[in-house]
Amino acid sequence: MENFVQFQKLFTEYLQIEKNASPYTVEYYNHDLEEFFSFLRQEGIGTFQEVDQQCIRLFLTILFDKKLSRRSVSRKISSLRTFFKFLEREEIINTNAFLLITLPKASNPIPGFLYEEEMVKLFESNDAETPIGQRNLALLEILYGTGIRVSECQQLRIKDIDFSIGTLLVKGKGNKERYVPFGSFADKALQLYIHDGRKQLLEKSEVNSESIFLNARGTPITTRGIRSILNKMVEKAALTIHVHPHKLRHTFATHMLNEGADLRTVQELLGHESLSSTQVYTHVTKDHLRNIYLNSHPRAKDRNNG
């Protein structure tokens, strides 16, 4: 039997060194590989060379039996296809059976977003007189005002802020850097937090951290911590909505497009490699434009019949 773990380690090094993949991407790949290796052991398959179309179809059946979404299954198959392409390159296998498998068509759900009135309630739920309130307000302003990912927000350092021109240096997927502008509200919230609340939080820790966002103990906040903060904001604002950091990213993109920003600009601000990733937001703007048209054009609808 082949040592599956040995090849997993080699593949991980390939992702980190050659592909410059983020820790989150590597984690997803490893999770998918471990699930597939477990399946191979259960089926008594001891070498990668034995993996054929029939084997993969059985694996697909098991995944769908677990009630996984098409999107989740597609991602797993895509991960394994990349792994077997790596094995083929390393001459561990002769052919990549995953190339012959058609990915199940993933559903393309409409991204959830918040209305401006809901955002106002979230902002008003923070007490800017306390260190934690100042931090939460700055956090919300940055997530909504820039559209950056929660992982990108968590990694921000003091040196990444340039107040003179109102930009953040953000490290995105694959350690790709981009400059993202922020507005006057985020500027004001950041200035207050950094010069007041953050200093008070730092005093609670023995480590002089460079991270912008700190927890109540004065140490760098985690992505889980950011999600928890948002949940508490929603409770405090008495909203019956579910807010996660990515929903603020969706809200940023939707509000930008609704106010007339072009797709290419939003793509660059979000750090999307392809325009297709950004186009998912155009459905909202189409609805928005249609509503404006129906309510504004004299001959859009019969006024007498409503």
DSSP of 206-245: SS---BSSB-TTSSBPPHHHHHHHHHHHHHHTT--S---H
Task: Assess if residue 175 is contained within a domain.
Answer: yes
- Predicted confidence band of residue 290 (pLDDT cuts 50, 70, 90): low
Its pTM stands at 0.58
Q: How many domains does the chain have?
A: 2
Whole-number pLDDT of residue 273: 76
Q: Read off the pLDDT of residues 80-134 as tens digits, 9 standing for 90 and up.
A: 999 999 999 999 999 889 888 876 555 555 556 777 788 888 888 888 899 999 9
Stretch 254-258: mean pLDDT: 83
Strand segments, DSSP code E, in the chain are: 161-162, 167-171, 177-181
Looking at the structure, do residues 18 and 43 belong to the same domain, yes or no? yes
Stretch 10-38: mean pLDDT: 91
Mark whether 272 is an active-site residue: yes
Say how far apart CA 145 and CA 167 lie, in whole Å.
Answer: 11
CATH assignment of the domain containing 236: 1.10.443.10
Catalytic residue among 149, 247, 250, 255: 149
What does pLDDT average to over the chain? 85
Tell me which of 66, 100, 134 is where a domain ends. Answer: 100
Selected residue with higher pLDDT from 153 and 240 = 153
Mark whether 178 is an active-site residue: no
Chain position carrying tokens 């080699």 = 10
- Please say whether the beta carbons of 96 and 84 come within 8 A: yes
For 165, which DSSP code? T
Q: Read off the pLDDT of residues 134-185 as tens digits, 9 standing for 90 and up.
A: 999 999 999 989 989 888 999 999 999 999 999 999 988 777 889 999 999 9
Lowest mean pLDDT among 54-63, 116-125, 205-214: 116-125
Residue 75 lies in domain: 4-100
Whole-number pLDDT of residue 243: 75
Mark whether 246 is an active-site residue: yes
Mark whether 71 is an active-site residue: no
Question: Residue 274, class by beta-carbon neighbours within 10 Å (0-12 exposed, 13-18 middle, 19+ buried)?
Answer: exposed
Task: Assess if residue 53 is contained within a domain.
Answer: yes
Q: In what order do the strands lie in the sheet with 167-171?
A: 161-162, 167-171, 177-181
Catalytic residue among 135, 198, 249, 255: 249
